[in-house]
Amino acid sequence: MNHAAPSKHQILKDVFGFDEFRPGQETVVDALLTGQSVLAVMPTGSGKSLCFQVPALVSGGLSVVVSPLIALMQDQVAALRLAGVAADSINSSRNRDENVAAWRRAAAGETRLLYLSPERLMTEPMLAALNKLGVTLIAIDEAHCISQWGPAFRPEYEMLSRLRDVFPGVPIVALTATADEVTRSDIVARLFGRKVDEVVLGFDRPNIKLTVEPKSGSKQQLLAFVKAHPKQSGIVYCLSRKKTEEAAALLAANGVRALPYHAGMNKDEREANQNSFMTEPYMVMVATIAFGMGIDKSDVRFVVHADLPASLEAYYQEIGRAGRDGAPARAHMLFGQGDIRMRRMFIDQEESSEERKRREKRRLEALVSYCEAQSCRRRILLSYFGETAAPCGNCDLCLEPAALADGTADAQRILEIVQRTGERYGATHIVDILRGARTEKIVAMGHDRLRLFGCGAARKKEEWRALIRQLVAGSFLLHDLEGYGGLSLLDKGRAVLAGELAFQHRPLPARRARRGREDEIAAALSGDQEQLLAELKALRFALAKARHLPAYLIFSDKTLLDMVRQRPRNLHEFAMVNGVGSTKLKDFGAQFLAVLTKDRTASAA
């Protein structure tokens, strides 16, 4: 007797415990169920995984999930198994016998979702073997890596473009939280051959307050910021392993519960520190970018960048780990000129094509423009991702506008040179003309004969570059990110050049006043509720420890909070809690109910 396939809503409720899809999820699910390929760009915390997990379970057969990090892969497999889903992974952290057993289960039709790294997937034997099994769906997580990770680092990510030829007719979904228009175009061209549905949700996270502070004693600045946020969980990102260790030690020595996390630590130590961060209150994780992908901790109240991130995409992804519960959160960056030099050096040393290096330098320029902005940071951040917005009222430049100086004369010099050189050269060439550098290119193009050649020799290169970045950030100049990085005039720039509009800029160095003490976030729970939440977390930790899993895979913080607020009295009511599916209801319901009902009885006594 044939049984009808379960519906998407049935899977959503019975397996994952949710009554409704979040915005954007159902659009992706429906497209995949009709055989369409999709590029889904959705903010951190919007539930990207369900977009492929639900159609995989509705369609049946074997779905392949490509994931860049073993830890992320293992967590998703463990979470699916806890929800009663036959999921598996084949990766280098498992011994050969375990990987062989996992493959046999997939080949026997027992596995619904098989997680693989791109290196494991993109081998001829694996592709041939999977082709024989009749794969029904391919999902590529963290898809921005296709465009942003250099070919020398993860060449198999570029090789994923073969999938549409190896598996014709199989829908492919690429998912990421972070992709500007250039990155999206790159993914579409490489992975889909320009034939794909795009689902791009809004990038705004209005609950996150955005602030940037020029470096002036960065260790003490970091300590002051973290100490101003007591009894809060946070993440501090550092550029190097050494700085990560030093910053964690500094915070710990000053009474902050801080732990380091970086790729140079052994696996057990990293996992222990991550588990402490996920399960214990008021922890601060000091980390390199090795930490964060796939982290599902809803009450991170701040993310600090002690050093300049790699790009606005990386910055957006990293600050997205704050405030996932929707409550107020902070994204604070310490920014110095030394950071720019270090980032440029990293790009120059990368083993990649000159075109890629040019693109990465343009991305760096966009990030520095954000740091040196004159007005609303959120508008600049959202415009980078192709969105328009009014001033947000929740960034430092809206709340405490920067002191500006008149820079009209210097702006007119820049704008005239851009115009007279044909609006096709980048900032480096324009600055060289201003400073009177007779480079080979300048002499060859005759630009040393321009009226303004050498007019800005008294200013340092970095000052002129900063002015150009502010002209870009203020929409006086357009910086061509997709092409060769040329600058061209916009309407506001033409108005300044014609003397019809003034240009105000932030003087260098842009030191801003120290901030006052932060407003405390009002407690959302009563004392009794806080105690109950602590007991539920303790139970979750014990259950996770017994299974050798991160605690949040048992139930997320959001689900525990919903338990506290709903106070279910029986299994039927417990099943109504957001995030409780049928398997977790069976496996954990009675134990959590014992804590919930015990607490109620104790309160009433």
Instruction: Please enumerate, as own/partner, the contacts of 151-156 that have beta carbons within 8 Å and a separation of 24 or more.
Output: 151/352, 151/353, 151/356, 152/350, 152/351, 152/352, 154/68, 154/118, 154/119, 156/117, 156/118, 156/119, 156/121, 156/122
pLDDT at site 292: 60
Domain ranges of the chain: 8-200, 208-399, 405-505, 527-604
Map 308-371 to HEC letters. Answer: CCCCHHHHHHHHCCCCCCCCCEEEEEEECHHHHHHHHHHHHHCCCCHHHHHHHHHHHHHHHHHH
Arithmetic mean of pLDDT, 122-144: 91
Answer yes or no: is pLDDT of 510 > 60.
no
Q: Point out the least confidently predicted range of 39-43, 130-134, 432-436, 525-529.
A: 525-529
477-479 vs 487-489, strand pairing mode: antiparallel
Going from the C-alpha of 449 to that of each of 60, 486, 565, the distances in angstroms are 70, 21, 74
Percentage of the chain modeled with pLDDT above 70 = 91
Arithmetic mean of pLDDT, 149-168: 73
Contacts of 319 (CB under 8 A, 6+ apart): 205, 208, 210, 303, 331
- The pair of structure tokens assigned to 188 is 């579409």
pLDDT at site 226: 96
Residue listed under structure tokens 């009002």: 522
Answer yes or no: is pLDDT of 186 > 90.
no
Arithmetic mean of pLDDT, 31-44: 91
Q: Would the CA dihedral through 402, 203, 277, 271 be positive or negative?
A: negative
The pLDDT tens digits for 291-330 are 765 566 788 999 999 999 988 988 998 998 898 888 999 9
With CA atoms as reference, report the closest residue to 587 among 575, 573, 598, 600: 575
Question: Per-residue confidence at 518, pLDDT binned at 50, 70, 90?
Answer: very low
Answer yes or no: is pLDDT of 15 > 60.
yes
pLDDT at site 601: 45
Assigned architecture for domain 208-399 = 3-Layer(aba) Sandwich (3.40)
Arithmetic mean of pLDDT, 332-341: 85
The pLDDT tens digits for 260-280 are 998 889 888 988 888 888 888
Per the prediction, the chain carries an average pLDDT of 86
Cβ(311)–Cβ(366) below 8 Å: yes
Percentage of the chain modeled with pLDDT above 90 = 48
- Examine domains 8-200 and 208-399 and report if their fold is the same: yes
pLDDT at site 155: 64
**Rounded Cα–Cα distance for residues 591 and 55 (Å):** 31
Query: At residue 237, what are phi and psi to the nearest 5 degrees?
Result: -100, 130
In CATH terms, the fold of domain 527-604 is: DNA polymerase; domain 1 (1.10.150)
Contacts of 169 (CB under 8 A, 6+ apart): 35
What is the CATH number assigned to the segment(s) 8-200? 3.40.50.300
The pLDDT tens digits for 350-397 are 777 788 788 888 888 889 889 888 889 999 999 888 888 889 999 999
Answer yes or no: is pLDDT of 511 > 50.
no
Question: Per-residue confidence at 482, pLDDT binned at 50, 70, 90?
Answer: low
pLDDT at site 517: 32
- The pair of structure tokens assigned to 103 is 């493959």
The pLDDT tens digits for 48-78 are 899 999 999 999 999 999 987 777 788 889 9
What is the CATH number assigned to the segment(s) 405-505? 1.10.10.10
Contacts of 63 (CB under 8 A, 6+ apart): 52, 55, 56, 112, 113, 114, 135, 136, 137, 138, 139
Q: Point out the least confidently predicted range of 144-158, 200-214, 294-308, 443-457.
A: 144-158
